Amino acid sequence: MTAPRVLQTADPRAAYQAAADEILAAIRRVLESGHYILGPEVEAFERGFAKYLGAAHVVGVASGTDALELALRAAGIKAGDRVVTVANTATATVAAIELAGAKAVFVDIDPHSMTMDPDALEACLVRSGEAKPSAVVPVHLYGHPADLPRIGAIAQTHGMAVIEDCAQAHGATIRGRRVGTFGQAAAFSFYPTKNLGAIGDGGAIATNDARLADQVRLLRQYGWRQRYVSESPGKNSRLDELQAAILRVKLARLDADNQRRKTLAGEYLRRLAGAKLELPTVAPDCESVWHQFVVRTPAREALRSHLAGAGIQTAVLYPVPIHRQPAYRDDKLDLPVTERTCRELLCLPMHPGLGPADVELVCRQILSWSVAQR
């Protein structure tokens, strides 16, 4: 007897299976080349991803966390600096700010996009009595762009660097321009469940600034320009040849995968229009790449257990905002929109391996739950 199928929120194995022949050929090519670290595959992937984004430079590193840390360091962020970001993000965003030696300052989010509220950023900058932050890290969350045109203008007025966290938004656009090209630099993660996912860890920095790209190249390998000669203090954060070769295969499929996510999201929105839920929206000048499909309800836990009973997995990204977590606790800070969002959000299954029948099943279960709520 086969076990009943559980609908997963993300499915990296399905992503591998969809391109298995090409991925296995890419792996074999690397294994037989004898070149495993920082070689032709990494260079080709960096060129390909830069072209895809419309950025002048891409530098591959070992993870999204490292990409953020190295981008901040290359942009001149140093010990004691303050960096503004949001609290409804992966802990990695804040860990990277701290790894660069800086302190994270949290501002609230916009209730519609669930990304950084530019008004809250502005208010934080005019608050007296605190040193002015040196950088801002907006997070393009769930595949939806943060308001980079406004955040960028505010940052420019206040002389701050903008480092975009693009870990959840490969291919998303604002006014037709891809995220990752708005700030001084941007950080991408290739964690296996991301829209562009490796089969292991990986990350990259994108930038139009040749000097910043050069700095990151030094930082990712012991400060070496010439082997065994450290020009500056660096670390080991290299993207390996196997992951780069796999990412080249995945990059060629990224737009089609994102289009599939968009179709599934459209189906969810259409079918759930009457449900007792807050549905996600897309800002008029933006294209989301639907990394997550996030609904909100004060009855989140009840809906979650109803769906679990029907074999439908859900996720909560993120249940506890960073300023309420033991490592970063700040009891004096109130971020009401962030806190409500973290209490109410639920991520429904969303990945290119889903079919319309899967979305229909999820929606049918949500609608029957929703009717029982009235």
- Interface residue list for ligand PLP (CB under 6 A): 63-65, 89-90, 92-93, 139, 165, 167-168, 189, 191, 201, 203
Taking the C-alpha atoms of residue 308 and residue 93, their distance in angstroms, rounded to an integer, is: 30
Yes or no: say if 96 and 68 are a contact pair by the CB < 8 Å rule: yes
- Smallest distance, ligand PLP to C-beta of residue 328, A: 15
- Smallest distance, ligand PLP to C-beta of residue 87, A: 12
Q: Which is nearer to ligand PLP, 93 or 365 (CB)?
A: 93
Sorted by sequence, the CB contacts under 8 Å of residue 2 that are 6+ apart come out as: none
Taking the C-alpha atoms of residue 99 and residue 79, their distance in angstroms, rounded to an integer, is: 9
Q: Which is nearer to ligand PLP, 8 or 85 (CB)?
A: 85
Q: Which is nearer to ligand PLP, 118 or 202 (CB)?
A: 202
Identity of residue 253: R
Long-range contacts, stretch 179-184, CB < 8 angstroms, 24+ apart: 179/140, 179/145, 179/148, 180/53, 180/55, 180/206, 181/53, 181/54, 181/55, 181/206, 181/208, 182/148, 182/149, 182/152, 183/138, 183/148, 183/152, 184/71, 184/75, 184/209, 184/212
Q: Which is nearer to ligand PLP, 198 or 363 (CB)?
A: 198
- Smallest distance, ligand PLP to C-beta of residue 251, A: 16
Q: Which is nearer to ligand PLP, 191 or 369 (CB)?
A: 191
- Smallest distance, ligand PLP to C-beta of residue 141, A: 6
Identity of residue 346: L
- Terminus-to-terminus CA distance in the chain, angstroms? 38
Distances in Å between the Cα of 26 and the Cα atoms of 19, 124, 294, 349 are: 11, 48, 34, 29
Return the residue nearest ligand PLP (CB atom): 64
- Smallest distance, ligand PLP to C-beta of residue 189, A: 3
Taking the C-alpha atoms of residue 85 and residue 279, their distance in angstroms, rounded to an integer, is: 24
Beta-bridged to residue 136, according to DSSP, are 84, 162
- Smallest distance, ligand PLP to C-beta of residue 89, A: 5
- Smallest distance, ligand PLP to C-beta of residue 92, A: 3
> For residue 283, how many other CB atoms are within 10 A of its CB?
16
112, 117, 186, 175: which is closest to 150 by C-alpha? 117
Taking the C-alpha atoms of residue 264 and residue 270, their distance in angstroms, rounded to an integer, is: 10
Taking the C-alpha atoms of residue 138 and residue 153, their distance in angstroms, rounded to an integer, is: 13
Yes or no: say if 75 and 54 are a contact pair by the CB < 8 Å rule: no
Q: Which is nearer to ligand PLP, 8 or 65 (CB)?
A: 65
- Smallest distance, ligand PLP to C-beta of residue 115, A: 11
Q: Which is nearer to ligand PLP, 148 or 359 (CB)?
A: 148
E strand or H helix at 123: helix 118-126
Beta-bridged to residue 345, according to DSSP, are 296
Yes or no: say if 308 and 314 are a contact pair by the CB < 8 Å rule: yes
Q: Which is nearer to ligand PLP, 204 or 245 (CB)?
A: 204
Q: Which is nearer to ligand PLP, 163 or 275 (CB)?
A: 163
Q: Which is nearer to ligand PLP, 92 or 185 (CB)?
A: 92
- Smallest distance, ligand PLP to C-beta of residue 186, A: 11
- Smallest distance, ligand PLP to C-beta of residue 188, A: 8
